[in-house]
Structure 1
């Protein structure tokens, strides 16, 4: 019989569970070798059901896109493993086993208490390189998943806390950065050990029965709260379509068409009218598509606690006939950082038809994934990977945020000091992008101007981005923000890539420049209603330059 859960125990144990996940995040980022984890926070940790992998809690600073994907990852591990033991840890990065793209590497640890399997601890970190046709894995012209890097099914990496050196050797041999691989493996394992220790302390203090009852109650309450929000939406079907630039191979738009059907306390999210699977790497896997839709809904209903209860009122229709439910061997490198964000804006666009006062104008929805590989002055290989923020849309209560993080993220570019210390680059400009916001009573936020010089002898750059042909939209009469506009200066000549936002293995020599101009947010409301005070502030802050060029 489930014990009674009083309000004090519910609050305290909930806080302790969240703190455990947050501490795992902190341990992971402080130990990780990859700057994209340690400095840019491209990681997440959480606690999951040992029965079906469903989410119990995830750290509040974890990457939002992993909110849904990690429970699918844990479920795939539970289905694959045989005879788990305390101290075992499993590694998996297979996008088609509940993942995202290959670089997002998951580790899962069974948690035992009193000799019984109680829960699963898991984390995800973006490893900088796991092989593939381009350094960093963002192969804009990959035509199958085998070109994107080493794909790992659920494998037992640690047995009774002992690292399997054979598997580690395979991982390191297939990476351009073998030392970083070892460092990130140890960081992820240590974070899970920290979670194991803290969860044991919690159960010692409150007992497994009461903690289990609190977990069940939290799931039920999240479901009830989500249902109450859905019930407030008028019944009906709400549609919206987002167009992505292209897939990196065929210069043709990819449509994310979503239909939200609300009936009472339940909502169906239907993507069946979207574009078919594509040739290039902008396909998404099922887990990432679901997770992206959840992130969009959470943007509108942010106070619903994150656990598996938020999924219960929702039904997803994502047939294999669309590029949002890709199967082997489709390439998926752009899944987590690009397609996911346009799924978010598509779902938010549909929600705007139902809740116009709660949804902001369009936001920057591209990470502009840029990776550079080469050999440094000491003759060692390096791989630099960065992603950039942009402007958020204006909203009913005010202007959009400038240089906001990716919609599916919490991180931004690594610090300039870290980049210049580790890689052969010299940053020439890192500023807000003038005139990039959409006009409105409440303007959009500004994008970013990030420009740097390559100082190495030779290198190769790859770019996997989007939103260079479709700018963030305005709402309620507001204007669009500026589109993404990356360019290169190679051997003295300015170059815009044929696909604009995508290209791979671009040869670099000393003195070449790379400039990333990220989108600004759309405006909200009639621009003529903007106050004179706000207009003066925009000019005084340098956000506006008369008769300026976006470039």
Structure 2
């Protein structure tokens, strides 16, 4: 679209079209949420829907309640579908979860639908939903000991799940035959398809109202404006080279830390990011595919400059070098179960550390930085039905320049929420015996970090296996400007009255439980901001009154 054309769009129309595109995605999110069978989608919102460009899949709009990590990931997914499936027609929908084709872990299943307007392909509608299980050697897919992708579950290349408006029943049968709890998965499949169809309906109405040419011009102008805004923000960062470092506990197989090194060069209104000095590819599932790695870099900037609108334009000033030869550029057949939920958050933490040297007035102590992925699976003897319960939990946010960190915040990569314990207790043979703030877990500072949570799940009947893939069990979320780190992730398992902790601190597979056994998780607090000795006495008094610290801890804060 020409510059002259975009210049003719009046501000009111531009804003209305911008909000209209967002509303299309929001309605897709709502349909996806309300029709899904899995609590992780219907209750926790672990999904995303968006509109993507015709030529290369670049982001046009995404739902306000979609997971931010999918901002970059879904661009890569859609681009790969465009390249591999160039002849899609009206009513076709592609399903794909291949991590090496613009994906994340296998549980994030994407669907891509070409959108036609008046007989011409106009854009793509895409979505992603976290399926609680896609097969593999560990129920739920979060195996911490997998050494190749085939152990993690069913890998689906871009194939048609809907052909000219008709469900591909053979493909559905193949998928359901290779995963646990097929009755639940078919509901999730139909929910994603319904969301895409709703998007096509609402986008058609928008184009009918304003015209395809006017909407195309608005999209170009909105992306150009986002680019200009991001460039202006980058110019506020002093030119220079900034370095950041973050650690993963282990890869789940080799009990040694993994390092994520960021070398960031700021030059005028452009940023260049290199991760080339990070650890080599690892044996376990903490490798990260390119789509997840680059999306984490983009998302880090969005955290620092949240006022910049989300579309492809805001990414243009950010150049990320592909970190080939590191665990942040996974290639077949490397296992990748932890890439989106865990590794991406360490990439962001390293980015935050680097930016803290440059613009401390915009930064904060590190957040908890782990999704706390927990799976409990078995057969409920009361119903005779198998189950796979997937759960993730919140943690503390870091202290910032104007206050203490939020307690029990969601993961850095998403705006999803923990599922209500009442829903989980209704569906699965478990009881949450307590669920409370983890007092004292925030890192000390002028502004302390927020608190993590402490919860215990007891198995009520039958036998089960518990697996978890988390992080920050050895290294607490770091503070900045003299702030102290938050508490580490802690996990305790009780089997027949005997308590133990996992060898890898935050990762383990297939731990056997019998009725009465329990697992307790204590999630990390956020890092502190500034020198603890500069904390206002009134803030310390408030913490004492609220019972957040014992006397000694409060004094040291």
TM-score by length of 1: 0.98
Q: Aligned-pair distance for 1:82?
A: 4.2
In structure 2, the partner of 1:398 is 403
In structure 2, the partner of 1:416 is 421
Q: Distance in 1 between matches of 2:427 and 2:505?
A: 28
Deviation string, structure 1 residues 517-547 (Cα, Å, up to 9, x no partner): 0000111122222222221221222211346
Q: Aligned-pair distance for 1:319?
A: 2.7
In structure 2, the partner of 1:446 is 451
Q: Is the 8 A contact 2:274 2:323 kept in 1?
A: no
Comparing 65-74 and 310-319, the one that deviates more: 310-319
Q: Give the secondary structure class of the aligned counterpart of 1:375.
A: strand
Q: Is the 8 A contact 2:356 2:480 kept in 1?
A: no
Runs of 5+ consecutive residues of structure 2 not aligned to the other structure: none
Q: Is 2:364 the partner of 1:360? A: yes
In structure 1, the partner of 2:151 is 147
Q: Is the 8 A contact 1:171 1:181 kept in 2?
A: no
Q: Is the 8 A contact 2:249 2:472 kept in 1?
A: yes
In structure 2, the partner of 1:210 is 214
Comparing 238-247 and 448-457, the one that deviates more: 448-457
Q: Give the secondary structure class of the aligned counterpart of 1:473.
A: coil
Q: Distance in 2 between matches of 1:17 and 1:210?
A: 13
In structure 2, the partner of 1:481 is 486
Q: Distance in 2 between matches of 1:57 and 1:519?
A: 33
Q: Distance in 2 between matches of 1:474 and 1:70?
A: 32
157, 164, 169: which one aligns with 1:165: 169
Deviation string, structure 1 residues 407-443 (Cα, Å, up to 9, x no partner): 0011122101111001111111100001101111211
Q: Distance in 2 between matches of 1:210 and 1:494?
A: 65
Runs of 5+ consecutive residues of structure 1 not aligned to the other structure: none
Comparing 519-528 and 50-59, the one that deviates more: 519-528
In structure 1, the partner of 2:529 is 524
536, 539, 546: which one aligns with 1:534: 539
252, 264, 267: which one aligns with 1:263: 267
In structure 1, the partner of 2:19 is 15
69, 73, 84: which one aligns with 2:73: 69
Deviation string, structure 1 residues 25-52 (Cα, Å, up to 9, x no partner): 1110111111111111100000001111
Q: Distance in 1 between matches of 2:530 and 2:509?
A: 40
Q: Distance in 1 between matches of 2:155 and 2:220?
A: 35
In structure 1, the partner of 2:278 is 274
Deviation string, structure 1 residues 131-162 (Cα, Å, up to 9, x no partner): 00000000100000000000000001101221
Deviation string, structure 1 residues 310-357 (Cα, Å, up to 9, x no partner): 221111112320000000000000001000100111111111111011
326, 330, 337: which one aligns with 1:326: 330
Q: Give the secondary structure class of the aligned counterpart of 1:412.
A: coil
Comparing 529-538 and 219-228, the one that deviates more: 529-538
Q: Give the secondary structure class of the aligned counterpart of 1:185.
A: helix
Q: Distance in 2 between matches of 1:269 and 1:353?
A: 15
501, 505, 508: which one aligns with 2:510: 505
Q: Distance in 2 between matches of 1:428 and 1:327?
A: 42
In structure 2, the partner of 1:48 is 52
86, 89, 94: which one aligns with 1:85: 89
- What does residue range 266-305 of structure 1 map to in structure 2 within 5 Å? 266-305=270-309
In structure 2, the partner of 1:345 is 349
Deviation string, structure 1 residues 259-287 (Cα, Å, up to 9, x no partner): 11011111111000000000000000000
- What does residue range 133-144 of structure 1 map to in structure 2 within 5 Å? 133-144=137-148
In structure 1, the partner of 2:317 is 313
In structure 2, the partner of 1:378 is 383
Q: Distance in 2 between matches of 1:425 and 1:511?
A: 10
In structure 1, the partner of 2:251 is 247
168, 175, 180: which one aligns with 1:176: 180
Q: Distance in 1 between matches of 2:282 and 2:213?
A: 49
TM-score by length of 2: 0.97
Q: Is the 8 A contact 1:434 1:545 kept in 2?
A: no
- What does residue range 100-119 of structure 1 map to in structure 2 within 5 Å? 100-119=104-123
Comparing 143-152 and 218-227, the one that deviates more: 218-227
